[in-house]
Structure 1
Amino acid sequence: MATRTFPFSTLINKQTSVFPALDDADVILERRDAENLVLMRSERFDAMVKGLGLAARSLAIVARANRALAEEVFAEELPWLVWLPPEARPTCTAELLDHLLAGAETGLLLPFARALREWQSTAEVYSDPELARRLRGPFDTADAAEPDRPGSADD
């Protein structure tokens, strides 16, 4: 699908420039001090949600019938899975599939995006054996200080 990009101020000042672009493209509104916004026609949005739902449910069915195949599919699309320990890959795959399926059903895909980012970050740590070793501990706590708890008498 094609996208067109406009500064957010164009929507405010010249709506007639932005809305016609929605006939054949989704519109990204760039904002300086906040996340960009996306405008799209509801027909395209509904089609995207339905397509995602179908794809997620289909992948979940494959995963239930053949977990190894689902992991292979994910490994193809997410090459950083190879950095995870072999025993963590099924957990990663299951968690991502569960979040994707729930997101496809509800339209709430941020939990899936967070889980994907968290698993990738975990894999990146494992890609550096020295960093992974240091993060596993043990930790030298001789110079550590106990932080004040919010709402304590010292506040």
Structure 2
Amino acid sequence: MTTKNFPYSAFLRGPSHVLPSLDHADVILERRGEEDLVLMRAERFEASAASLRIAARALAIVARRSDSLAEEVLAEELPWVTWLPDTERQACVRELLGHLIAGADTGELLPFGRALASWRSTAVAWSDPQLARELQGPFPGDGPEVPRPLPTDRRKGR
């Protein structure tokens, strides 16, 4: 599906200039200083959601039958997975699949997006052997002692 971009202000000034684009594309309304908004026909939205649910559940079935095949499938789509050590790679596949299935079922995909970004960052750290060694420790010392905070008087809002 193609997308067409419009400034949000163009939609506010004249929705009738933007809405006809929904016949053949999804519309991205670009907002300054805010997240963009997406407009789409309900039929396309429902089709996308149903497709995602089916694909997520199918991948989960593959993972239950063969961890290595699920890992191979994800590594094909997410090449950075190969930078993870074997044990981390398996944990990554399990976590991403769990979030994907839950997100497909509920429509809440932000946890999947966050986990995906987190695992990608982890893989990048593992790709640098020196950095990976440093992050595994040991770490020199515990740092300076920090004094216990003073109790606050909650009645006065302090």
Q: Same fold by TM-score, threshold 0.5 exceeded?
A: yes
Identity, in percent, stands at 56
Larger Rg: 2
Alignment of 1:25-64 (within 5 A): 25-64=25-64
Alignment of 1:53-92 (within 5 A): 53-92=53-92
Following the alignment from structure 1 to structure 2, what is the Cα–Cα distance between the partners of residues 90 and 103?
20
Change (3 A) 1:94 1:143: closer
Change (3 A) 1:15 1:152: farther
Following TM superposition, the consecutive aligned residue runs of length 4 or more in structure 1 with deviations greater than 6 angstroms are none
Question: 1:40-89: CA deviations, max 9, x gaps?
Answer: 01110000000000000111111111111111101111110111111111
Aligned-residue RMSD, C-alpha: 2.1
The answer for unaligned runs of 5 or more in structure 2 is 153-157
In the TM superposition, residue 133 of structure 1 has moved relative to its aligned partner by: 1.8
Alignment of 1:1-155 (within 5 A): 1-141=1-141, 144=144, 146=146, 153=152
Following the alignment from structure 2 to structure 1, what is the Cα–Cα distance between the partners of residues 94 and 48?
23
Following the alignment from structure 1 to structure 2, what is the Cα–Cα distance between the partners of residues 95 and 6?
36
In the TM superposition, residue 146 of structure 1 has moved relative to its aligned partner by: 3.5
Q: What secondary structure, in the 3-state scheme, does the structure 2 residue paired with 1:137 have?
A: coil
Q: What secondary structure, in the 3-state scheme, does the structure 2 residue paired with 1:87 have?
A: helix
Change (3 A) 1:124 1:13: same
Following the alignment from structure 1 to structure 2, what is the Cα–Cα distance between the partners of residues 80 and 42?
34
Give aligned pairs, total.
154
In the TM superposition, residue 124 of structure 1 has moved relative to its aligned partner by: 0.4
